Amino acid sequence: MTDLEIAQATPMEPIQKVAAKIGIPEDALEYYGKYKAKLSFDYLKSIQDQPQGKLILVTAINPTKAGEGKSTTTVGLGDALNRLGKKTMMALREPSLGPVFGLKGGATGGGYAQVVPMEDINLHFTGDMHAITTTNNLVCACLDNSIHQGNPLHIDPTKVTFKRCLDMNDRTLRDITIGQGSKANGVERKDGFNITVASEVMAALCLADDLMDLKERFARMQVAYTYDGDPVYVRDLGIQGAMAMVMKDAVLPNIVQTLEHNPVLIHGGPFANIAHGCNSVIATKACLELADYTVTEAGFGADLGAEKFLDIKCRLANLKPNAVVIVATIRALKQHGGVAFEDLKEENVDAMLAGCGNLAKHIDTVQQFGLPYIVAINQFESDSPKEIEALENWCKENGHPMSLSQVWAKGGEGALDLAQQVIALCDQPNTYAPLYDVHASIEDKINTIAQKVYGADGVDFTDEAKAQIDTFNRLGWNELPICMAKTQMSLTDDGKIMGRPTGFRITVRELRPSLGAGFIVALTGKVLTMPGLPKHPSALDMDIDENGKIVGLF
Amino acid sequence: MTDLEIAQATPMEPIQKVAAKIGIPEDALEYYGKYKAKLSFDYLKSIQDQPQGKLILVTAINPTKAGEGKSTTTVGLGDALNRLGKKTMMALREPSLGPVFGLKGGATGGGYAQVVPMEDINLHFTGDMHAITTTNNLVCACLDNSIHQGNPLHIDPTKVTFKRCLDMNDRTLRDITIGQGSKANGVERKDGFNITVASEVMAALCLADDLMDLKERFARMQVAYTYDGDPVYVRDLGIQGAMAMVMKDAVLPNIVQTLEHNPVLIHGGPFANIAHGCNSVIATKACLELADYTVTEAGFGADLGAEKFLDIKCRLANLKPNAVVIVATIRALKQHGGVAFEDLKEENVDAMLAGCGNLAKHIDTVQQFGLPYIVAINQFESDSPKEIEALENWCKENGHPMSLSQVWAKGGEGALDLAQQVIALCDQPNTYAPLYDVHASIEDKINTIAQKVYGADGVDFTDEAKAQIDTFNRLGWNELPICMAKTQMSLTDDGKIMGRPTGFRITVRELRPSLGAGFIVALTGKVLTMPGLPKHPSALDMDIDENGKIVGLF
């Protein structure tokens, strides 16, 4: 059965029944149909002083291109904790609609560890993505209108930094020229579209405390430079109020259920490269206030997702994590040991053990953050008994807690051991602290991440990056955390280098201010912020019949 | 008090209570919060064989740039019919989000004749516009991807007819160049964005019977030409199933309430120039099946909105209208009598009477369609007693039924006389028939509309239009109704010519196939399908406070 067929074959419970399990009253729900709701503004206010439960982060090693199964493990672990009688919620990212039509598919877990209604969550859900798209493009329309209507802010049309966006994989919108044709069509300039999840509006939403904080974040977003080189902010355009108004519902977290009818908040889903790749602070805090255990995830491997979760999100939102689950697959370990993607189904114990260095480095990173951890092996049908045994032995020999997770095949039942170990980890004291001082120089902060997290010898900055650092220092933008944009496939900035490399350096090519989000993005290579469609897009195989039944969504 | 303040000061009833008034059971509702819902797929199916009630169209004379108040009259008349004990629903168009940030404001009526929650309806509502935007842009992404991935359909990049869209007033997106930069960014070509309501996806939604019919309409949309000049359709791209999937919720009509807690369906809102300007057939039929009286509206004046409602929508959907309300304001009649827009507040009985020719022509048009009618004078504070008396006398002398409507100031109470007269009109037999035979030639159909509805002497076709007619005849696209794109300000194709002109001709400059919608668009001038923002956009005055209260939306 496909993920969609499993999801469709499982009857859902009315969302008020799922919410009631965790003590959310019905009048706290703003329904979106029978199986989705937003938590109301008033209810969120009413719970904000409740004591917070334990926070568990699910991260991973550097993945294969198919991913390691972080969402699936998060859902399965949450279901398992509930099976053990622990009041548990999960906080997940909202899927982007664009990739659904391409190749990647949705992001609601898999097998028997899924969040439902998966069709709705992967399509429009409650409209948050569309609100972000609208908010982003309102900035662009007002900015270009200001240039057209006499340009009172003296915006240099060649120095507009804020791009338009759409939630669609559309490569032809990456580099475009707008304002062509007659003079009535505005001022011609080069522009481009990002996919919506790469918009700074998304990053700001995910780090905001509430709607008023989000409005302030909007006001300080930098959108362009004047002819004199001075920054232009959203507050100069005067539309932060309108932007906040457009986001009034999108700022509220969405509640849905797992296939085992446990409550999940899905809210916000920023890119894990030019943004920090975690669901909203609002959703995470709501879970912590409502549940004794909150399981959440961060995009890509621990070098990107966990580092940003721990250095950016937890720091800025004052969150205290309790334990980290590092997901690994035997497939990915074999890839790190030199096996080609096409051959990952074949047994290869030696390659797997050779690839364990990658896992060891991510464990080392989590240890540096002062947090207890466990390795969760996300089991695949192709994993051989010998491979599993060898990996168990490797963990035992190196003193790493480990559990075999079978949530894809068995749901929460497949992660009972993992859940029991996680409960024990959460009871341990920990010494969590971010890795760097936010008041250090931009160069020092990047160096710390590269050396401590990637295992690099050091960082080279291009002349462009150096000039940008000078500008940022002059403008007072330097006292912010760093959001690294790096390939997720490797610990280095070269996606082809597997395993646990040493003796390499990282090159930072560009820095971008993300002042509304509250961090500086450091780009180590070309980051594509608008994906394209493959030769055979998934859209070609999608359909819906006269009874509303969907096929081809995955 | 502003419209928004009046709306905010009126407590709403839970939408299930409003729905129950008309016999809609709670399990037929898919909630979007407490005051908005969609009627479920199954419920729509269950009522489709119920006998249909009476259908009343609200149209207008050629308006001032402020509009004549059709939506306000529709709401007030519906409330008045409910006050008289008649089981009545209203069917309205969904507002576009783009103009809300510009100048025009929303489209939910005004004063005490409004539909609420007005903030939500004017912002994201239930996400229908966003679903249309996504569906439209999925076509574009797949089309350009097909060109990029070897161009198996031999699409000529200079002959792509289907544009991208956004629900935003953004003039710089009218004429753009896409696919620039490296080869990986696709094939460079000229393109442009329409505002979402101008998308053919919207027009097709509004004429579809159900989701399966909509899927077939998508399949037959023409999107480009090959290098050999052959048309390329959506079915050649193979994505009609994915498009229908994206529209699965948007195809369901939305129920909301008037300030007097009467049920209104708001669903679909196509442009009234390059499309037909009426809410969805699905919503209108649902109202007819549920209520004894349905009041609906059509965009712009009777020369555009009513003509298209009666020649396109009623013909294609097999609807039988019973009466027409022609809304006029004394302000607009004075403008037709030669008074400048700035001076319309000043009493001028002679100018008003001189302008009545415009009203007379629209009455003549409705008579040609074989329908009973009434003139509704939408009263303004600036209307003088002498002007009102003179207009009443003019109607009496010419035998036109008439009623003074005060719904803006009084709600349903202000249209009780109008409602009583409308009830009587609906009991009259009528001889409704479309004005032209759909099998006539394209030229004959356009000539019929121009002569019978506009009062023109005839039609001139440019060479371009003649060549297009030849092409359409060759491709078999000729046996469709005509959707005229003409200025709404005048009966002629020149927006400056007021009153009831004679001795003029109409020039058709271009024809466009809208095969998914099921009509041929005839353009009589340059039609702007992407508006711009004014010098001081409304967005600058919008805000939301810490309690979620909105200001500046109108």
- Asked if pLDDT for residue A105 goes beyond 70, the answer is no
- Residue B65 confidence (pLDDT) above 90: no
pLDDT for residue B147 is more than 80:
yes
Asked if B118 and B106 touch (Cβ cutoff 8 Å), the reply is yes
**Same domain, yes or no, for B273 and B401?**
yes
Please tell me which residue in B36, B38, B54, B70 is annotated as part of the active site.
Answer: B70
A230 Cβ contact list (under 8 Å, min separation 6) = none
Percent of chain B exceeding pLDDT 90 equals 95
Please tell me the distance from the alpha carbon of residue A393 to that of residue B365, in angstroms, as a whole number. Answer: 88
Nearest to B214 by CA among B517, B535, B430: B517
A163 as an active site residue: the answer is: no
Per-residue pLDDT tens over the stretch B199-223: 999 999 999 999 999 999 999 999 9
How far lies B150's CA from each of A20, A170, A176, B146, in Å?
54, 16, 21, 7
Angle at A151 between CA A150 and CA A156, to 5 degrees: 140
The whole-number pLDDT of residue B93 equals 96
Decide if A172 and B186 are in contact by the 8 Å CB cutoff. yes
Of B125, B162, B271, B300, which residue is the catalytic one?
B300
The whole-number pLDDT of residue A525 equals 84
What is the distance between the alpha carbons of residues B167 and A481, in angstroms, rounded to a whole number?
35
User: Would you place residue B104 in the very low, low, confident or very high pLDDT band (cuts 50, 70, 90)?
Assistant: low
Mean pLDDT of A55-69: 93
ipTM above 0.90, yes or no: yes
Q: Does residue A101 lie in a domain region?
A: yes
Q: What is the mean pLDDT of chain B?
A: 96
User: Is there a single domain that holds both residue B44 and residue B115?
Assistant: yes
Which parts of B are annotated binding residues for ATP? 64-71
**pLDDT of the residue at B107:** 77
Q: What's at B307, amino acid-wise?
A: E
Nearest chain A Cα distance for residue B135, angstroms: 10
pLDDT at B36: 98
Quick one: which of A187, A179, A184, A191 has its CA closest to A147?
A187
B218-227 tens-digit pLDDT: 999 999 999 9
Question: Is residue A206 very low, low, confident or very high in pLDDT (cuts 50, 70, 90)?
Answer: very high
Same domain, A117 and A137: no
Query: To which H or E segment does residue A65 belong?
Result: none
pLDDT at B105: 58
**Site from A120, A148, A171, A177 to mutate, B interface, most B CB atoms within 10 angstroms:** A171
Rounded CA-CA distance A119/A121 in Å is 6
Distance to chain A for B8, nearest Cα, Å: 15
Contacts of B133 in chain A (CB under 8 A): 130
pLDDT in tens, A270-325: 998 889 999 999 999 999 999 999 999 998 999 999 999 999 999 999 999 999 99
Q: Does residue B137 share a domain with residue B232?
A: yes
Measured between alpha carbons, how far is B458 from B394 in angstroms, rounded to an integer? 30
β-strands A323-328, A113-116 pairing:
unpaired
Give A248's contacts in chain B (Cβ within 8 Å): 123, 544, 548, 550
| Cβ-based neighbour number of residue A360 at 10 Å | 16
Burial of A74 (0-12, 13-18, 19+ CB in 10 A): buried
- By the CB < 8 Å criterion, does B245 face chain A? yes
| Phi and psi torsions of B245, nearest 5° | -60, -45
Strands, E, within B227-339: which ranges?
231-233, 254-258, 263-266, 293-297, 323-328
Query: Would you call A296 exposed, middle or buried from its count of C-beta atoms within 10 A (0-12, 13-18, 19+)?
Result: buried
Token pair in block for residue A202: 């998304």
Paired tokens of B150:
């070897």
Is A466 among the domain residues?
yes
pLDDT of residue B225: 98
In this structure, what token pair is assigned to residue A312? 């950016």
Query: Who contacts A445 (Cβ-Cβ below 8 Å, separation ≥6)?
Result: A436, A437, A438, A481, A482
- Rounded to whole angstroms, the Cα distance separating A224 from B193 reads 23
CB contact residues (below 8 A), chain B span 461-490, against chain A: none
- The answer as to whether A534 is a domain residue is no
SS3 B193: strand
Domain stops at, among B223, B244, B265: B244
Q: Which of B200, B216, B244 is the last residue of a domain?
A: B244
Looking at the structure, tell me whether residues B88 and B7 fall in a common domain. Answer: yes
The residues, ordered by sequence, that sit 6+ positions from B206 with a Cβ below 8 Å of its Cβ are B268, B269, B270, B275, B276, B278, B279, B280, B281, B313, B517
Tokens 């489209």 sit at which residue? B107
Dig out the tokens for A400 from the structure.
């790493």
Could you tell me if residue B434 is inside a domain? no
Interface contact B101-A138, CB threshold 8 A: yes
Cα B303 from Cα B488, distance rounded (Å): 8
Amino acid at A274: I
β partners of residue B513: B520
Within chain B, how many helices (H) and strands (E) appear?
20, 26
pLDDT in tens, B18-59: 999 999 999 999 999 999 999 999 999 999 999 999 999 999
**Residues 105-144 of chain B whose Cβ lies under 8 A from any Cβ of chain A:** 123-124, 127, 130-131, 133-134, 137-138, 140-142, 144
Of B33, B178, B241, the CB nearest to A172: B178
A245 touches B at CB < 8 Å: yes
Q: What is the mean pLDDT of residues A232-255?
A: 98
Please give the Cα distance from A115 to A35 (Å, whole number): 11
Q: Which residue of A has its CA nearest to B38?
A: A33
| Environment class of B73 (CB within 10 Å of its CB; exposed 0-12, middle 13-18, buried 19+) | buried
Both tokens of A161, joined, read 């930094």
Short-list A201, A476, A456, CA closest to A484: A456
Q: Interior CA angle at A130 toward A125 and A135, to 5°?
A: 145
pLDDT of B526 strictly over 90: no
A393 and A65 in contact (C-beta within 8 Å)? no
What range does the domain containing A506 cover?
A: 442-523
Residue A311 near residue A480 (C-beta atoms within 8 A): no
- Shared-domain flag, residues B376 and B489: no
> pLDDT digit string (tens) for B153-174?
999 999 999 999 999 999 999 9
Does residue B542 sit in helix, strand or coil?
A: coil
Catalytic residue, candidates A174, A360, A380, A452: A380
A268 and A349 fall within a common domain: yes
A73 is annotated as an active-site residue: no
Per the domain annotation, does B542 fall within a domain? no
Out of A36, A54, A70, A512, the active site residue is A70
Q: Which of A93, A308, A313, A361 is catalytic?
A: A93
Domain stop point among A192, A214, A244: A244
CATH code of B503's domain: 3.10.410.10
Q: Using the beta-carbon criterion (under 8 Å), do A187 and B181 form an inter-chain contact?
A: no
Nearest chain B residue to A188 by CA: give it. Answer: B172
Choose the closest CB to B166 out of A137, A180, A542: A137
Active site residue A300: yes
For A542, nearest residue in chain B (alpha carbons): B242
Q: Are strands B29-31 and B37-39 parallel, antiparallel or unpaired?
A: antiparallel
Question: Are B29 and B166 in a shared domain?
Answer: no
Q: Which of residues 144-203 of B touch A (CB under 8 A)?
A: 144-145, 148-150, 166-181, 184-187, 189-191
**Residue B55 falls within a domain, yes or no?**
yes
Q: Is B543 part of any domain?
A: no
Q: What are the tens digits of pLDDT across the range A523-546?
A: 998 889 999 999 999 999 999 999
Reference B114, options B4, B201, B18, B196; nearest CA is: B4
pLDDT for B1 beyond 90: no
Q: What is the DSSP letter of A452?
A: I
What CA–CA distances, in Å, run from B291 to B74, B310, B407?
Answer: 15, 21, 22
Question: CATH number for the domain including B218?
Answer: 3.30.1510.10
Per-residue model confidence as pLDDT tens digits over B317-331? 999 999 999 999 999
Residues A432-478: pLDDT tens digits?
A: 999 999 999 999 999 999 999 999 999 999 999 999 999 999 999 99
Q: Is the peptide bond before A401 cis (omega within 30 degrees of 0)?
A: no
Closest partner residue to B176 among A134, A170, A178, by Cβ?
A178
d(CA B59, CA B73): 10
Nearest residue on chain A to B169, judged by CA atoms?
A141
Distance in angstroms (rounded) separating the CA atoms of residues A471 and A511: 10
Confidence of residue A106 (pLDDT cuts 50, 70, 90): low
Q: Where are the alpha helices (DSSP H) in A86-164?
A: 118-122, 128-148
Cβ <8 Å between A535 and B31? no
Same-domain status, B236 and B261: no
Residue A403 assigned as binding residue: no
Residue A446 lies in a domain: yes
CA dist., res. A386 & res. A233, Å (int): 59
Chain B residues in contact with A212 by the CB 8 A cut-off are 546
Structure confidence at residue B102 (pLDDT): 87
State whether B122 and B156 are in the same domain: no
Q: Based on the residue annotation, tell me whether A294 is a catalytic residue of this protein.
A: no
Q: Find the mean pLDDT for residues A18-30.
A: 97
Which pTM was predicted? 0.97
Q: Which amino acid is at B37?
A: A
Peptide bond into B117 cis (omega under 30): yes
A279 and A401 share one domain = yes
Structure confidence at residue B106 (pLDDT): 63
Stretch A358-373: mean pLDDT, rounded?
Answer: 98
How many distinct structural domains can be found in chain B?
Answer: 3
| Rg of chain A taking only CA atoms, in angstroms | 23
B 341-380 residues inside an 8 A Cβ radius of A:
none
Percent of chain B with pLDDT over 70: 99
pLDDT on residue A201:
98
Q: Specify whether A387 is located in the same domain as A489.
A: no
Q: Between B525 and A90, whose confidence is greater? A: A90
Q: How far apart are CA B456 and CA B440, in angstroms?
A: 19
CATH number of residue B316's parent domain: 3.40.50.300
Q: How far apart, in whole angstroms, are the C-alpha atoms of residue A90 and residue B4?
A: 39
